[in-house]
């Protein structure tokens, strides 16, 4: 699904505010155009780029790119994929709309264009929003307003950038969804994040299954009580009791508190113990 409610939208962002004397659409030599270092999309799939180049060879560039003047040349604001495909197709020039734009405008237009065309993976999207904030001094609230999103959704997206690099790669590759990434971002331990991410991929977990596993608390390991060495007096007492009662005797505990257990193996031993007690009462 495409992102909902992108604020003013791409058409508004790219609307021409200049006087209408001349058309802003020009045919510009490809050699005079430079890519935008603020382009949110970092990875361009070779196969799909080749498909677009084949389409351009057959039908030409159907949608112009957006550029802005920069030091006697032109900097791409939106449409780098079309520019790359045009070069691949062997074109010498490309139709372009020339727009005067500041840094914020260039980054915003590039970001919104990619969002509307579903070209960004969650990591690229988060990195683009972070760059927009850092380089243009914008807050999460102001970015949310510009993109027509809620501030919490922007905050959740930015949390992806705190994940371990390995997990971010899995998200960028599509092995994990943005929902998986947001769930993993809520796990405190980095090693646990990687472990859960790997299991989610291997076992095909849904986001809900990952949430349940991430919220499960591990039982603390049971500590075994170390056996206590009985006081040396216990052996002497046990030996004396065995001689007195003619029964097995076990003494446990400490000198302050403990337990004495007398065991009999037959009725004769029990009778003898009873006689001893009767004799003590006399």
Distance of alpha carbon 38 from the chain centroid: 23
pLDDT band at 49, cuts 50/70/90? confident
Positive or negative, the CA dihedral 229, 230, 233, 238 is negative
Q: Is 80 a catalytic residue?
A: yes
Q: Are residues 101 and 112 in the same domain?
A: yes
- pLDDT score, position 5: 35
Per the domain annotation, does 25 fall within a domain? yes
**Alpha helix segments (H runs only) across the chain:** 9-13, 46-59, 80-88, 103-116, 122-136, 140-147, 151-158, 165-173, 178-185, 190-203, 207-215, 232-245, 267-281
Mean predicted lDDT score pLDDT of the chain:
78
Q: Are residues 61 and 136 in the same domain?
A: yes
Give tens-digit pLDDT for 167-213.
Answer: 999 998 889 998 999 999 989 889 999 999 999 999 999 999 999 99
Domains identified in the chain, total number = 3
Q: Are residues 60 and 198 in the same domain?
A: no
Residue 132, pLDDT > 60, answer: yes
- pLDDT score, position 215: 87
Q: Mean of the pLDDT values across residues 117-128?
A: 76
Distance of alpha carbon 88 from the chain centroid: 35
Give tens-digit pLDDT for 3-48.
Answer: 333 333 334 333 433 333 344 788 999 999 988 776 656 667 788 8
CA distances for 161 relative to 89, 113, 123, 143, angstroms: 36, 21, 7, 17
Q: Are residues 136 and 181 in the same domain?
A: no
CA-based nearest residue to 100, from 74, 128, 135, 123: 74
Active-site residue, selected from the candidate residues 57, 80, 141, 211: 80
Q: Are residues 16 and 140 in the same domain?
A: yes
Q: Are residues 256 and 267 in the same domain?
A: yes
CATH number, domain containing residue 32: 3.90.1530.30
- pLDDT score, position 43: 67
Whether 98 and 67 have beta carbons less than 8 Å apart is answered as yes
pTM of the model: 0.47
Per the domain annotation, does 223 fall within a domain? no
Q: Enter the tokens of residue 225.
A: 């009580």
Per the domain annotation, does 4 fall within a domain? no
Residue 135, pLDDT > 70, answer: no
């Amino acid at each position: 699904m495409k992102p909902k409610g992108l604020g003013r939208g791409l058409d508004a962002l790219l609307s021409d505010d200049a006087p209408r004397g001349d058309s802003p659409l020009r045919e510009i030599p490809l050699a005079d155009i430079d890519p935008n270092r603020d382009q949110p999309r970092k990875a361009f799939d070779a196969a799909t780029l080749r498909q677009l180049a084949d389409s351009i060879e057959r039908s030409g560039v159907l949608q112009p790119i957006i550029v802005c003047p920069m030091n006697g040349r032109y900097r791409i604001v939106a449409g780098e994929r079309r520019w790359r495909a045009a070069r691949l197709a062997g074109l010498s020039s490309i139709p372009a709309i020339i727009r005067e734009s500041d840094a914020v405008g260039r980054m915003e237009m590039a970001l919104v264009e990619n969002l509307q065309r579903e070209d960004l993976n969650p990591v690229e999207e988060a990195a683009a929003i972070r760059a927009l904030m850092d380089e243009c001094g914008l807050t999460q609230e102001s970015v949310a307003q510009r993109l027509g999103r809620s501030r919490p959704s922007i905050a959740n997206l930015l949390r992806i950038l705190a994940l371990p690099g390995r997990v971010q790669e899995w998200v960028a590759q599509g092995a994990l969804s943005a929902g998986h990434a947001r769930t993993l971002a809520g796990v405190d331990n980095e090693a646990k994040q990687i472990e859960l991410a790997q299991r989610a991929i291997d076992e095909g977990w849904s986001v809900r299954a990952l949430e349940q596993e991430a919220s499960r608390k591990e039982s603390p390991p049971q500590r075994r009580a170390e056996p206590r060495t009985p006081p040396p007096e216990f052996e002497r007492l046990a030996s004396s009791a065995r001689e007195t009662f003619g029964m097995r005797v076990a003494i446990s505990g400490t000198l302050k508190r403990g337990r004495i257990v007398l065991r009999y193996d037959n009725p004769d031993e029990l009778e003898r113990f009873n006689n001893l007690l009767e004799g003590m009462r006399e």
